[in-house]
A and B are shown apart, each in its own frame.
Chain A
């Protein structure tokens, strides 16, 4: 680990100013990923700006939905009564992530900013275009069992590791961001990005910007929501494939459906085509299977992750079965 200086700030403006004046400075929230990255030498900020004292940890009801502060701890959000009532999918996704100790430290904003767990990214002795543009991709032709099947590029097949973000994508959340030029909002689904020719960029946040909050609009999906995470052990493992499914069912028919997958792309993967297949159809396994087929259009595997072409649609069907109550 490099030597670094540590600054604690307590307002939005001082936080943003601290980053503006130091090109290598980074925000520190829960630190559950950043400290690992610093220890392994992947990230070497010369200044850490600790934002934990900012008043951004609340969960509050607005006219249109719930607003979750960027510094709300994952464990707090997962057990919050308003979240459990309105967005059980988010609670389930959060509880499926990491371990209790990590969830007690990790924040909503930090969870969004966590970097891929691709091993080639973490090992400085191995090639990775995300860590070092132009060095090559170790996962292509290497160990890619955990890797993407959607939206890959020739330069990167890494996946975003978050569970929370899968749920927030499905729930049509928006992100409130503050920066040197003021505040802006973007749809959650546009926060993370695909690797394309610049895999070093995980998301669309600009240098010096700060995530303030996430807004989730109210919906009618709370009664039929399920987050299904398939992994190599029962807890504390990243998803092979995960599916966030939420349905509005009336009289046995699906009025509205939301579906997103984790462990399959460089960003949480929203399944809009599958949602269209589900809409207006009876909530049956046959319908779910058709939706899963639609979801898999364009999927491509790389050897080690070939099984995801089978696992992903099966997981979609299972998640929908459980969400609909037809287990």
Chain B
């Protein structure tokens, strides 16, 4: 790959399969003898099951089994695990005990010959509970903090500098619970072959991770666990683990000796496949009168489950983003009677960036500086947390490009100074950042006699267009035309790759594709073959015939090296937005967006732009509409459906201008590409909140910014 040349935009390689329905998602898979599972879930938040009456359900037409903690077979791998949650609570053992640890916890599996019969029978299960007092409200229990096992406290310089500086700022920020809510519902289809071999179709961001979890849970041999997840209808992080309900359904299939399929309901997607945790943050910031940051204190308290710690890097960005000599960060978690959270796009960093980038904007106004100039003045040339150079950092250029595109410097900086009709007009901006990673991945290349190339690796495509990017990399290395190259993923029998998460797939798997294509060229050279003008030069058919092989095959493992210790590697984004706010109704509309990504060389410009647009759309949701609400008296969600949990609809999303710096990172990997999925969203909510301030003169520090909040301040 010649990383001095920009790549051409190509169409999504599986686009046609997706829009024609040829692409099959797990829920569409049918196998002979398949049965359907419906979960009955708890209606209390904490306590135990006194009795559960399944007789009526068992007698209902078509019902094959009703499994509860009373008759569920033990999960061998779970039984062997005696570890205790660090909060001191009990471990979650789904259908393994009478204990209820959160509202919406599965308490019975109803399995029938049709989905409708299972659904009906599930309504006949009668449960009597013994309720205990529960805690679901982080705001109420925020003092009951627990030090997480990782992400400890951090401090450099004078820990009081933030409050003794000439100009100071103290502010509190609130992020509500957000739920990933991908279009595709989660679930699993399990098909056993005897007692020790199982095939599973599911929705996962990592087939190898799921394979490993199932292997451990059932104490099987890895080669006897086959996991398929060729297509995923959106993950956003919820598919980064194999959930306990997946395991009990697989166990049910083993017990019944029949394939069992579970497709969760939308309501169940709120309680048992994770969420972005409700988080309280406090920032205290100090600056000199001429606008140099002199101290920052950033504290975050997030929720977790009573049965498991969940941590994320909420306060991390504050440590290295700006050239500030004195920085202290603290991160705590509060165990609640809730299902466990999981990373949601831009995990932690998106939460932290809302607070930090709102506070930076506020401080810029306090020192009477333009927020862009304030950021440039406090730009960190090297990583002040680790005292290392950045592998690449084009933030200054990105600020400039974005500002020019949206007309930033032409606005009137004075808050509440711009209007269009009755609507107040505001401009806001923010920075986003996420670590640029390169993990380990193995890729296999098979060059066929017809000159077509098949590449295989057990990675995932949760939507960004993994196959498209990989084909493009292979095209760049081999010169073969796009349509001659196929990339296979989502199958645990393929060469191993990590899960798709943390914006690392292009860097990690892409490097393996790069390396295996390079190795293939070397192998070909030894056999008198080469790629020339988009085709194989030399008689490959004779070579294959002589070797007695159907194709030339080479497998290559690839991972990063020592460079990761020498440099700080990050992807950056700058978001600019123009919002209109109606002062009478409190309605906020995002009217324009310019988003700039500094994520190294862009491998696939078209899918990369789509990914930025998707991330900004998620950011609009985070800023303006998304909030999962619990009635804490009952511990139950009161808007657990897509009518009342508001993801942005098309009418909420304006044209989004995406700009790529598109300069290769010289360190991270052979393509020079850094990640993009997370930075597309990280920081965007702060850009909106800052624009709302510019429009109205009011700071809103609690998301989402709904009309009632505009009217209240």
Is the CB of B320 closer than 8 A to any CB of chain A?
no
Contact of A230 with B652 in the complex, beta carbons under 8 Å? no
Contact of A236 with B643 in the complex, beta carbons under 8 Å? yes
Contact of B634 with A125 in the complex, beta carbons under 8 Å? yes
Contact of B639 with A119 in the complex, beta carbons under 8 Å? yes
**Which B residues lie within 8 Å of A2 (CB)?**
120, 123
Is the CB of A12 closer than 8 A to any CB of chain B?
no
Minimum C-beta distance from A162 to chain B (A): 14
Minimum C-beta distance from B710 to chain A (A): 9
Interface centre among B43, B422, B638 (most CB of A within 10 A): B638
Is the CB of B93 closer than 8 A to any CB of chain A?
no
Contact of B651 with A318 in the complex, beta carbons under 8 Å? no
**Which A residues lie within 8 Å of B589 (CB)?**
234
Contact of A235 with B649 in the complex, beta carbons under 8 Å? yes
Q: Tell me whether chain B's interface is mostly helix, strand or loop, or mixed.
A: loop
Q: Contacts A3-B120, A142-B638, A317-B584 given; indicate if A233 touches B646 (C-beta within 8 A).
A: yes
Which single member of B633, B650, B651 contacts A141 (CB below 8 Å)?
B633
Is the CB of B631 closer than 8 A to any CB of chain A?
yes
Contact of B646 with A237 in the complex, beta carbons under 8 Å? yes
Interface centre among A41, A117, A228, A236 (most CB of B within 10 A): A236
Is the CB of B389 closer than 8 A to any CB of chain A?
no
Which single member of A1, A119, A120, A141 contacts B119 (CB below 8 Å)?
A1
Contact of B706 with A232 in the complex, beta carbons under 8 Å? yes
Contact with A along B562-587 (1 / 0, CB 8 A): 00000000000000000000101111
Is the CB of B707 closer than 8 A to any CB of chain A?
yes
Contact-residue bracket for chain A: 20 to 34
Is the CB of B624 closer than 8 A to any CB of chain A?
yes
Nearest A residue to B639, CB-CB:
A119
Which single member of B584, B629, B650 contacts A318 (CB below 8 Å)?
B584
Minimum C-beta distance from A78 to chain B (A): 16
Contact-residue bracket for chain B: 35 or more
Which single member of A123, A314, A321 contacts B636 (CB below 8 Å)?
A123
Within the assembled complex, what's the spacing in Å between the Cα atoms of A143 and B652? Answer: 25
Is the CB of A307 closer than 8 A to any CB of chain B?
yes
Minimum C-beta distance from A37 to chain B (A): 13
Minimum C-beta distance from B507 to chain A (A): 35
Is the CB of B483 closer than 8 A to any CB of chain A?
no
Contact of B585 with A236 in the complex, beta carbons under 8 Å? no
Contact of B585 with A318 in the complex, beta carbons under 8 Å? yes
Contact with B along A316-327 (1 / 0, CB 8 A): 011001000001
Minimum C-beta distance from B121 to chain A (A): 11
Within the assembled complex, what's the spacing in Å between the Cα atoms of A138 and B648? Answer: 28
Contact with A along B82-123 (1 / 0, CB 8 A): 000000000000000000000000000000000010011001
Minimum C-beta distance from B646 to chain A (A): 5
Q: Which residues of B contact A (CB under 8 A)?
A: 43, 116, 119-120, 123, 421-422, 582, 584-587, 589, 624-625, 629, 631, 633-634, 636, 638-639, 643-644, 646, 648-652, 706-708, 711-712
A-B contact pairs, 25 of them (CB 8 A): A117-B644, A123-B636, A125-B43, A126-B631, A126-B638, A138-B631, A143-B638, A228-B585, A230-B586, A230-B587, A230-B707, A232-B625, A232-B706, A233-B624, A233-B651, A235-B650, A235-B651, A238-B643, A238-B644, A311-B586, A311-B707, A314-B584, A315-B584, A318-B585, A327-B422
**With A119-B638, A120-B638, A138-B631 given, can you name 9 additional A-B contacts, CB distance below 8 Å?**
A119-B639, A142-B631, A143-B639, A232-B646, A233-B625, A234-B589, A237-B643, A318-B582, A327-B421
Q: Which residues of A contact B (CB under 8 A)?
A: 1-3, 41, 117, 119-120, 123, 125-126, 138, 141-143, 145, 228, 230, 232-238, 240, 307, 310-311, 314-315, 317-318, 321, 327
